A and B are shown apart, each in its own frame.
Chain A
Amino acid sequence: MSDGTFMQRLNAAAIVLAVVLLVALGAWWWRERSKVVATPRWEPAQFAQLLAPQLAPPSDAERWVVAVNLQCPHCQQHLAWLRERIASRSTRPLLGVLIVDQPTRPDSLALGALGAGAYWDSAQVWRETWGRGMYGETMRFDSHGTLLGAAPGGMVPDSITL
């Protein structure tokens, strides 16, 4: 077999492989998409409270809940950064923390003051019921617990410019 023929076959094989990978990706996506997950709803009673809410909440204040894994330093950096970013607002959302993927109840937390408190997701609601999985994600809930949106770590969920 000449070099040219070999390279042509290799080229054709690479293209076929790319198409197969794309189809496999699509099949995986379809399988994941067909799983039934519930829309997140902020009902603190379904989690174990670790830190009580620090503030008496205004009736219409939003709750911004950050999914924090205690092994993830970026989550905690994001939380500190988010707290700083909203500090100067006249109508501040209440910041809360949901400790996720934590098999045992944490002994102590050093997360600072949290308007909406800190909770431990002991029943894996975040991952298994809500189908979430991105550490540091901030979920925005209205005062009734309805999800308004979510943003990955490093972003202010309601920022008006990128």
Chain B
Amino acid sequence: MLARTLPRPREIESAHAWPLAIFVCAVALMWHDTLVAQLTHSPGLVPLRVTPRLAAACGVSTQLAFSALEAFLYARLWRATGRTLPWLRTAAVLFVISSFEAFALYLLQRQDAPSFAWLVGARALWPGGIAITGLDRAFGAFGVIALMRLALTAHVQARGSGASHVQASAMVLAGWLGSRLALWWTADLLRGRSFGL
């Protein structure tokens, strides 16, 4: 009964099921190839116990699961404001948007990666590509590509939930900032803990 009193969500008109499914497959392949290239040309990493292709497949699955979780959490947040966000479709669109990050990883593998710092964030300038502090880890990827991802995520949520772009942007910024802070603090705290026993 309550659902009838809630604002009816607008569909994401441009994202019909079949084209979206094709986009998801294409982005999954893009992620896979990017991760294989990264794992194959990473002299700073311990050799994997599995093949790069299998490790990359796990990476793509994780990215899919992360997009689903992100969409689910946003759907719960919108629900608390009385709006409904179609989370499965949003998850698919968020996964497609994650191709921006795959592109950023491609740029980071180039010899001239530091010249793309404005696009991919300060991580392009780190010696050895290694984040030293939790702050680096949390905000090192903040650049124009990250801004575009945030703007698109807000747009998708505004279309999906029927909220204004200002409301959706505020929601996405709050979610992003919360996750960055959690990553910053957790990474710093984990530096003082031991693993691998």
Contacts and interface: CB of A to CB of B under 8 A. Distances in A.
B197 A71 contact: yes
B43 A156 contact: yes
A8 interface: yes
Contacts of A34: none
Interface stretch (B22-30, B72-80, B90-98): B72-80
B46 A154 contact: yes
B132 interface: yes
Contact of B194 (A8, A25, A69, A154): A69
B44 A159 contact: yes
Interface string A39-81: 0000000000000000000000000000001011111011001
B188 A32 contact: yes
Given A2-B2, A32-B189, A162 B128 contact: yes
B47 to A, nearest CB: 8
Interface residues of A, number: 46
Interface string B166-197: 00000000000010011011101111111111
B104 to A, nearest CB: 13
Interface in A1-20: 2, 4-5, 8, 11-12, 14-15, 18
Given A134-B190, A134-B195, 12 more contacts: A4-B3, A14-B76, A77-B46, A85-B43, A101-B194, A132-B191, A135-B196, A154-B46, A155-B44, A158-B127, A158-B128, A162-B38
Interface of B: 1-3, 38, 41-47, 76-77, 79-80, 108-109, 127-130, 132, 178, 181-182, 184-186, 188-197
12 contacts: A14-B76, A25-B182, A25-B185, A75-B196, A135-B195, A149-B132, A155-B128, A155-B130, A157-B128, A161-B41, A161-B43, A162-B45
Report, nearest first, the 3 A-B pairs whose CB atoms are least far apart: A159-B44, A162-B129, A4-B2
